[in-house]
């Protein structure tokens, strides 16, 4: 028989939960405690290993950053060393220019004085006249008035070498002659009359003199200046080769320079080829 609680008595109310009861009963068993410990031990070890891996990863990143910084520093140092070596070579070249013997300076002054004297003599002989100068080494043509340069242009002089006709034994040399010449005639729309060597060079049969097949239109450009002995200042279809010795002895010019020269110089103009 259950008695009602008296006033002031404390009443404890318990709610029954099967899972809690099960867990309480399991916790009281040593086997369960052992298995729990065994389960938590690997987990704790894994946590420590993960922490160590995280530390190692951070260390690797730090080392990688240091290596990258070292690489940049090494590249900068290498560039600085290379620059220093280039500067040293430059200054060595400059030092090599300066003579060790003071007599070298006297010699240079003597040469400079001699060149100055020759220029004054040449200027006096030219007398301010218009003339053409051709530098066969540089493949350059200059139009001058006295010693004053008016303009210049690339040209092509003789390529050198020879061609021999085995049948007749004749030999032709493809060199531009040096010396003083004059413009003998000015030719408008010149036609090229192919010489014998042109056929021999191409291993073609040589036609008789005066044969119409020898005449070739447009090969020499729009203008030509005859300086004698079969040598002309004329145009070319191969302006890309100007500045190099590729002709058979004549002096080739580009179309623009040729027209400019044709209009500028009269017959009788001196031509100096050196």
What's the distance, CA 54 to chain centroid?
Answer: 52
Answer yes or no: 234 catalytic: yes
221 exposure class (CB count in 10 Å sphere: 0-12, 13-18, 19+): buried
Q: Which of 195, 183, 144 shows the shortest CA–CA distance to 266?
A: 183
pLDDT digits (tens, 9 = 90+) for 223-272: 999 999 999 999 999 999 999 999 999 999 999 999 999 999 999 999 99
- What local confidence, expressed as pLDDT, does residue 1 receive? 46
d(CA 262, CA 247): 20
pLDDT digits (tens, 9 = 90+) for 40-49: 666 666 767 7
d(CA 20, CA 31): 18
Question: Kind of pairing, strands 140-145 and 148-156?
Answer: antiparallel
C-beta of residue 119 within 8 angstroms of C-beta of residue 96: no
pTM: 0.58
User: Is residue 90 scored above 90 in pLDDT?
Assistant: no
Percent of the chain with pLDDT over 90: 53
- What local confidence, expressed as pLDDT, does residue 117 receive? 74
Q: Which of 258, 253, 249, 255 shows the shortest CA–CA distance to 181?
A: 249
Instruction: Given the residues 131, 155, 248, 250, select the one marked as catalytic.
Output: 250
The 3-state DSSP composition of the chain as helix, strand, coil percent (nearest 5) reads 45, 20, 35
- What local confidence, expressed as pLDDT, does residue 273 receive? 97
Token pair in block for residue 216:
């070739």
Instruction: Given the residues 131, 155, 234, 248, select the one marked as catalytic.
Output: 234
User: Is residue 72 scored above 80 in pLDDT?
Assistant: no
3-class secondary structure, 185:
strand
Average per-residue pLDDT for the chain: 81
Token pair in block for residue 150:
């008016």
Measure the N-to-C terminal CA separation of the chain; round to a whole number of Å: 149
Eight-state DSSP code of residue 206 = P
Q: Which of 235, 134, 223 shows the shortest CA–CA distance to 186?
A: 223
- What local confidence, expressed as pLDDT, does residue 82 receive? 72
The radius of gyration of the chain's CA atoms, rounded to the nearest angstrom, is 50
In which band, very low, low, confident or very high, does the pLDDT at 10 lie, cut at 50, 70 and 90?
A: very low
Element (H, E) at 141: strand 140-145
d(CA 171, CA 238): 26
Range with the poorest average pLDDT among 105-109, 208-212, 262-266 = 105-109
- What local confidence, expressed as pLDDT, does residue 218 receive? 94
Element (H, E) at 87: helix 30-97
258: CB partners within 8 A, 6+ apart: 221, 222, 223, 233, 234, 235
pLDDT digits (tens, 9 = 90+) for 155-183: 999 999 999 999 899 999 999 999 999 99
Answer yes or no: 10 catalytic: no
């Amino acid at each position: 028989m259950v008695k009602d609680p008296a006033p002031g008595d404390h009443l404890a109310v318990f709610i029954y939960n099967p899972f809690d009861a099960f867990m309480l009963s399991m916790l009281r068993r040593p086997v369960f405690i052992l298995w729990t410990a065994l389960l938590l031990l690997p987990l704790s070890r894994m946590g420590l290993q993960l922490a160590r891996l995280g530390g190692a990863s951070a260390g690797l990143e730090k080392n990688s950053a240091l290596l990258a910084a070292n690489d940049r520093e090494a590249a900068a140092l290498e560039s600085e060393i290379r620059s220093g070596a280039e500067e040293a070579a430059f200054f060595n070249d400059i030092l090599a220019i300066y003579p060790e013997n003071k007599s070298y300076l006297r010699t240079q002054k003597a040469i400079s004085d001699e060149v100055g004297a020759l220029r004054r003599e040449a200027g006096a002989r030219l007398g301010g006249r218009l003339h053409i100068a051709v530098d066969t080494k540089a493949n350059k043509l200059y139009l001058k008035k006295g010693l004053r340069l008016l303009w210049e242009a690339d040209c092509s002089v003789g390529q050198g070498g020879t061609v021999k006709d085995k049948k007749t034994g004749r030999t032709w040399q493809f060199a531009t002659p040096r010396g003083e010449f004059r413009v003998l005639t000015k030719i408008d729309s010149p036609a090229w009359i192919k010489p014998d060597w042109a056929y021999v060079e191409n291993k073609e049969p040589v036609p008789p003199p005066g044969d119409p097949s020898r005449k070739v239109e447009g090969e020499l450009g729009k203008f030509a200046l005859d300086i004698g002995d079969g040598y002309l200042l004329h145009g070319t279809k191969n302006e890309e080769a100007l500045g190099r010795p590729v002709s058979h002895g004549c002096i080739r010019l580009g179309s623009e320079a040729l027209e400019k020269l044709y209009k500028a110089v009269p017959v009788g103009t001196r031509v100096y080829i050196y």
